[in-house]
Amino acid sequence: MKPLNILIFTALVVLFFFILIIARDFLIPMVMAVFIWYLINVLAATIRKIRIGAFKFPGSVSYFISIILILAILTFIVNLISSNIAQVVAAAPTYQKNIDRISHPATEFIQEKINLNPDQLFSDINLSVIISKIAGGLTGLVSNAGLITLYIFFIFLEQKYFRKKLNALTQNKKRYSEVMQLIKRVDTDVKTYIGIKTLVSALTAVLGYLVMSIVGLDLAEFWAFLLFILNFIPNIGSLLATALPSLLALIQFNTYTPFIIVLSGILAVQLVVANIVEPRLMGQSLNLSPLVIILSLVIWGTVWGIPGMFLCVPLTVVIMIIFSHFPKTRPIAVMLSRAGRLTQ
């Protein structure tokens, strides 16, 4: 690569991340709006395929039902987060006492063997403050509901003109047909990924909920929802989804048995789903490299915070799928993948 090309490429990368940081308040709601718009379209297409005798849902009715379902799901998520966070904050003093009880042996060991002041090590473990920060990050994902709704409305207005604009750009029936076939292939791959990932994430959440309910873990519904969400982030997400409810079991109960049951149960569910169920449904073609996942979490987490960490892996997978269908960008998709095997 020529020095000038390297310089231009570097400048474009710097400019790209500069725009991501400066315009984050605009871009995060926009990206979320695009995802929701896509989900509405997928759901509407599924509803149109449903037949009751000779009756099938008209296009406008299917879109209306899809929007109502998406709004109902988002409302449920907001209420679930807010109510459960309130319960955790209320129970925080009890949890804090258990944290102090569990940390007491470590405190004595540090004081006797290492000759350090343990108060300096454990004084910053304030559960209420930690919970408040997590709550702020989670509610930040849904705090721009009005702006997201506005974006979705205008995206739908533009949707009906997309084919006309594409036809005007190509100015050639053969070229237009080729572009439309490419878009359909990309759309099929993205739908396959989202559909299968949603299915296995839901399965993980349901089985995890059963495990947590058996021991009577507080906020089992919230942790099941978190299992569902974090399962979209391979490796790191599964680790967090296992560790967080297990830690709560450790500080909620006075014995270690519930902690062991929750940890081993959720870990077993994660291993079975990740290593048996998901590979059989999806195969290895859409798996990201573990290094790419770590880099994506670090980069997008730094740029967009918690929303960036939730969005980074789905966005990277979609980018990899799109790049895999273009000869010039296919090498980038190969580098992003786990083993270099891509869809044809």
Q: Provide the percentage of residues in the chain whose pLDDT is more than 90.
A: 5
Q: Provide the percentage of residues in the chain whose pLDDT is more than 70.
A: 77
Decide: helix, strand or coil at residue 218.
Answer: coil
Q: What is the pLDDT of residue 100?
A: 64
Q: What is the pLDDT of residue 99?
A: 65
Tens of pLDDT, residues 136-158 = 555 555 566 778 888 888 888 88
Tens of pLDDT, residues 158-198 = 887 887 887 787 777 777 887 787 788 777 777 777 778 88
The encoded tokens of residue 38 equal: 């896509």
| Phi-psi group of 56: left, alpha or beta (phi > 0 → left; psi -120 to 50 → alpha; rest → beta) | beta
Alpha-carbon distances of 253 from 105, 215, 260, rounded to whole Å:
17, 10, 11
The verdict on pTM exceeding 0.75 is: no
For residue 337, list its beta bridge partners.
Answer: 288
- Give the sign of the dihedral formed by CA 106, CA 108, CA 114, CA 117: positive
Tens of pLDDT, residues 22-79 = 888 888 888 888 888 888 888 888 888 887 777 788 888 888 888 888 888 877 877 7
Tens of pLDDT, residues 256-315 = 888 899 999 999 998 888 778 877 776 555 567 778 878 888 888 888 877 777 777 777
pLDDT range class, residue 340, cuts 50, 70, 90: low
Average pLDDT over residues 237-250: 83
Q: What is the pLDDT of residue 328?
A: 78
Average pLDDT over residues 13-29: 83
Q: What is the pLDDT of residue 265?
A: 92
The encoded tokens of residue 207 equal: 């089985």
CA separation for the pair 234, 270 (Å, rounded):
11
pLDDT range class, residue 317, cuts 50, 70, 90: confident
CA separation for the pair 131, 247 (Å, rounded):
13
Q: What is the pLDDT of residue 121?
A: 47
- Write out the DSSP string of 246-286: HHHHHHHSSSSHHHHHHHHHHHHHHHHIIIIIHHHHH-STT
- Write out the DSSP string of 17-61: HHHHHHTHHHHHHHHHHHHHHHHHHHHHHHHHH-EETTEE--HHH
Instruction: Say yes or no to pLDDT of 217 above 80.
Output: yes
Domain boundaries defined on the chain: 25-160
Instruction: Say yes or no to pLDDT of 228 above 90.
Output: no
Tens of pLDDT, residues 104-141 = 555 555 555 555 554 444 445 555 555 555 555 555 55
CA separation for the pair 238, 233 (Å, rounded):
7
Q: How much is the mean pLDDT over the chain?
A: 77
